[in-house]
Amino acid sequence: MKAAILNAYNEPLEIADIQIDKPGPREVLVKTAASGVCHSDLHIIEGKIPIAPPLVAGHEPAGIVEQVGRDVSYVKPGDRVIACLSIFCGLCEYCTTGRTNLCGGADQDRQPGEPPRLSRDGVPILQAAQLASYAEQMLVPENALVKVREEIPLDRAALIGCGVTTGVGAALNTARVKPGSTCVVIGCGGVGLSAIQGCRIAGAGRIIAVDTEEWKLELARKVGATDGVNGSDGSAVETVNEMTGGGVDYAFEAIGLKQTIRQAYDMSRKGGTTVMVGVTAVGVDVELPGFDIVVSEKKILGSLMGSNAFRVDMPRYVDFYLNGQLLLDEIISARRPLEDINVCFDEMKKGAAARSVIVFD
């Protein structure tokens, strides 16, 4: 099958034929229908999240079940599924206390002696996050999958697999945004636009979008922002604090940069909450003012994949889409074949896309 391979950091992905194994007892072979292109993959390509190549990245997919392992009971061939990297065991301290997104399921790879899931002429290829959705097929654990309704097209369902769940869940699950509260979202890519929608769905009174691209601010308003602030001139913190009389209740950072995390913090009011959604490069320290954290009693919350219990959350987000509460068509900037995947990353680097989706035949 065809896949996009990272052979070395900072090189363009290579499209090539590779081999995929057969399902083990609790594994599922999925025909990939679509995969969103997420910024964390750019971190992997650039070595900022260091995972050793050769590898296949991609972790925001939807598809159709082709084949299931002996002990799989949750899905059958023909089922329409979203795959999520929050693979859960259902048994650990995190799963049994309702925090399945913190289960280490995705870290467990195959046992010694088992054939690799992916290989090329006998050389193992790493399957990033146990998904590797920049490929025509995926061989994934059963507990990486959630079934979805027939009615949602799979290119839109794919986005729910990571970015949309990360953003919407940051508002609904991590922050538990209160109706009537004030929110700011820094960064209006796929995750930020989803956080804005999460705030809207939660009934926030004011949702301020911050970005340096005017077209993204327009898009932000289209999906639910009540205000847009262009941060190009460096005055966004001051502007937001003036607009809100001293800062917002919830400040979401959806980029993953040290500077914008500090800006989000500085936009949060006394007693307010900063939600760190954007994934920073490994090794980057966030610098926050110690005295102010204590005397202003602020909260800083990390949010991993929108604190999801994805088998519960994702069908709800599908419902939100189908009933018009969650806008997905609007945040897709481009649909491209796998062959054009490097174009997607080039555009991402330039800030020229909200969310690109790779679509397969």
- Which residues lie near its own copies (CB under 8 A)? 49, 94, 99, 101-102, 174, 256, 258, 261, 270-271, 276-304, 307
Choose the catalytic residue: 43, 199, 268, 333. Answer: 43
Query: In the Cβ-directed half-sphere of 258, how many Cα atoms lie within 13 Å?
Result: 8
- Does the bond joining 54 to the residue before it have cis omega, within 30 degrees of 0? yes
* In the complex, least distance from residue 281 CB atom to its own copies, rounded to whole angstroms: 7
**137 vs 268 by CB, closer to its own copies:** 268
Report the distance separating Cα 149 and Cα 58, nearest Å: 23
Write down the least CB distance from residue 226 to its own copies, Å: 20
Choice among 59, 183, 268, 307 that is catalytic: 59
CA atoms of 216 and 282, how far apart (whole Å):
27
Integer Cα distance of 236 and 205 in angstroms: 20
Would you mind telling me the total number of residues written for the chain in this entry? Answer: 361
Q: How far is the CB of 264 from its own copies (least distance, A)?
A: 12
Residue type, 66: E
> Please, what is the minimum distance in Å from the beta carbon of residue 138 to its own copies?
22
Tell me how far, at minimum, the Cβ of 309 lies from its own copies, in Å.
13
**Considering beta carbons, is residue 74 or 94 the nearer one to its own copies?**
94
Q: How far is CA 24 from CA 2, 29, 142, in A?
A: 21, 10, 10
Closer residue to its own copies in complex, CB, 20/49: 49
What is the closest distance, in whole angstroms, from the C-beta atom of residue 68 to its own copies in the complex? 30
Instruction: Provide the pairing of β-strand 118-120 with 19-20.
Output: antiparallel
Asked if residues 189 and 166 have their Cβ atoms less than 8 Å apart, the reply is no
Q: Quick one: tokens of 33?
A: 């229908």
CA angle, 168 then 78 then 111, to 5°: 75
Shortest CB 140 distance to its own copies, Å:
20
Catalytic residue among 84, 103, 162, 199: 162
Alpha-carbon gap, residue 249 to 203, rounded angstroms: 13
Residue 43 annotated in active site: yes
Question: Among residues 35, 40, 86, 303, which one is catalytic?
Answer: 40
Q: Where does residue 35 rank: exposed (0-12), middle (13-18), buried (19+ CB within 10 A)?
A: buried
Which CB atom, from 8 or from 284, has the smaller least distance to its own copies?
Answer: 284
**Closer of 39 and 80 to its own copies (Cβ):** 39
Instruction: Tell me whether residue 39 is one of the annotated catalytic residues.
Output: no
Residue with Cβ nearer its own copies (168 or 217):
168
For residues 255 and 236, the answer to whether their CB atoms sit within 8 Å is no
Q: What b/e readout covers 260-281, taking b as 16+ CB neighbours within 10 angstroms? A: bbbbbbbbbbeebbbbbbbbbe
Structure tokens at 218: 């327009």
Of 142, 160, 109, 130, which Cα lies nearest the Cα of 332? 160
Q: Pick the closer one to its own copies by CB: 8 or 282.
A: 282
Q: Are 210 and 192 in contact (CB under 8 A)?
A: no
Q: Name the residues annotated as catalytic.
A: 38, 40, 43, 59, 162
